[in-house]
Amino acid sequence: MHPAPSVIIFTTLSGLGFGLLFWLGGGLIAPTGWVGFVFFAIAYLLAVCGLAASTFHLGHPERALKAFSQWRTSWLSREGWAAVAALLIMAVYGAGLVFFDQRWAPLGWLGAALSLGVIFTTSMIYAQMRTVPRWRTWLTPALFLALSLAGGALMAGQVTLAIFLLPVAALIQIVWWRRGDGALARSGTDLKTATGLGPIGTPRAFEPPHTGTNYLLREFVHVVGRRHAFKLRLIALTLGYVLPVMLLGLPAGHIVAALAVLCHVLGIAASRWLFFAEAEHVVGLYYGKRHA
């Protein structure tokens, strides 16, 4: 699929923001005063900017509020409700910490759970899609949650946790890639099943469906060369996981911590680009795209 910048920004920033809110609400860190204000401001900036970016990929962004009405059937709608609830609850909890030096632990725990709920519902938007076999696996929510927890720990300055969680997230990322390669072929979906002509032979397209482009081609048909994908995976692993862990092993310092965060964000952005670019939508079969 064509990786839109808006959804890359959305999945990267919101994961970091809500991951940081999880650790803040869970009580791992409870900063007060100006320090607390900075932590919550960073978390909200990342979360809100990520959510705002997602609206730019809608056909009619001005109708975004209508998405809240479909919570019974839509993971996108559930994500919206979870995000609003998490941000409101954490705002009250954060105000208690920052302005009143009050640690309302139950409220923080609820906000932490809702923050994880946002990440889970976001991942299910993709994991429930039968038309993209690469995404349709329990590894997709596992990857989103692992990245959010690891990135949030890194943003929170929790070195020990980050050094443990980043390799765990990297392992899930590698397994996700390995499982995704060939997922479309293993799904059994091809022109025979799509057309129902399998019993009488192997169908093939006589000519392309049309000579111009259309919405399906712009959104769902995209080919990434194997060499290109391999290089980007190495970049994502190196920047997103390896370098941050190595930097965290150096003597503590704000500059080192900032470099670790910067490397992680760039690496995760690369992995998110691959998340969409390598996603083989079954509609591509209709336009002559073969199994990877």
Per DSSP, the residues of 87-135 read HHHHHHHHHHHHHH----HHHHHHHHHHHHHHHHHHHHHHHT-TT-TTT
Written as one letter, the residue type at 178 is R
Rounded to the nearest angstrom, the gap between the alpha carbon of residue 40 and the centroid of all alpha carbons in its chain is 21
d(CA 108, CA 105): 5
pLDDT in tens, the chain (292 residues): 677 888 999 999 999 999 999 999 998 887 888 898 999 999 999 999 999 888 776 666 666 677 788 888 889 999 999 999 999 999 999 999 888 888 889 999 999 999 999 999 999 999 999 888 999 999 999 999 999 999 999 999 999 999 999 999 999 999 999 999 988 888 877 777 766 777 787 777 666 666 666 656 666 666 676 678 899 999 999 999 999 999 998 886 788 989 999 999 999 999 999 999 888 877 777 766 655 5
Distance between CA atoms of 137 and 17, rounded to whole angstroms? 24
For residue 290, the 8-state DSSP code is P
- 3-class SS of residue 270: helix
Beta strands (DSSP E) in 112-235 are none
DSSP notation for 38-53: HHHHHHHHHHHHHHHH
pLDDT value at residue 141: 97
Total count of residues recorded for the chain: 292
In which element (H, E) is residue 60 found?
Answer: none
Q: How far is CA 282 from CA 42, 131, 154, 202, 220, in A?
A: 39, 5, 37, 17, 9
Q: Is the dihedral of CA 104, 46, 234, 220 positive or negative?
A: positive
78 Cβ contact list (under 8 Å, min separation 6): 71, 121, 124
Contact, 250 vs 256, CB < 8 A? yes
Identify the DSSP state of 224. -
pTM to 2 decimals?
A: 0.89
Q: How far apart are CA 125 and CA 19, in angstroms?
A: 18
Nearest to 191 by CA among 69, 116, 282: 282
CA distance 158 to 59: 40
The CA distance from 118 to 80, in Å, is 8
Q: How would you write 214-262 as a 3-class SS string? A: CHHHHHHCCCCCHHHHHHHHHHHHHHHHHHHHHHHCCCCCHHHHHHHHH
- How far apart CA 256 and CA 164 sit, in angstroms, is 18
81 Cβ contact list (under 8 Å, min separation 6): 68, 71
Tokens 């390896």 found at: 242
Instruction: For the chain, list the domains and their CATH numbers.
Output: 5-286 (1.20.1630.10)
